[in-house]
Amino acid sequence: MVVNHSTISRWAIRFLPLLEKVFRQHKRPVGGSWRMDDTYIKVGGQWKYLYRAVDKAGATIDFLRRAQRDTAAATRFSIKAMLQNAAPEKITMDKSDAHQAAMDGINKGRDLPIEVH
C-alpha cells in the first residue's frame, strides 16, 4: 500500500491532539520541586527556543517550543505546565529575566507564592 505524505500529515493533525489527551490522563504525578530552563534548537533550518521543566527525579514535566524568548512565552509555558500538573512548591531556574518576570506575575495572583531559586 502506498500512502501519500499529505495523508500522513492530515492524520497527524487530526489524531495527535487526541493521543496527547489520552497520554496525559495516564501520566504519573510529578514532584513538588521543579527545575525550569530554556535553550535554543534548530528546527527546519530556523532557531527556536525550547522551554522545559523537569521534576526532582529528572522526569520531564512539560515543554514548549516558541519562536521568541520573552516574558509572554515564559508565562504561557509556566501556566501551561501548572494547569496540567499541580503547582510546585519550589522552582529552580536559570538567571533568565523572562522566567523571573513570569514567576513574579504568577505569584502576584496567588495566596501562597511559589518559592523561586
* pLDDT tens sequence across 76-88: 988 888 888 888 8
Residue 48 maps to a domain: yes
Do residues 82 and 30 make contact, with C-beta atoms less than 8 angstroms apart? no
* pLDDT band (50, 70, 90) for residue 44: confident
The span from the CA of 24 to the CA of 85, in Å, is 10
The span from the CA of 101 to the CA of 106, in Å, is 9
Count of the separate structural domains present in the chain: 1
Q: What is the pTM of this model?
A: 0.70
**What is the model's pLDDT at position 110?**
84
The span from the CA of 88 to the CA of 112, in Å, is 11
What domain range includes position 50? 28-116
Residue 12 maps to a domain: no
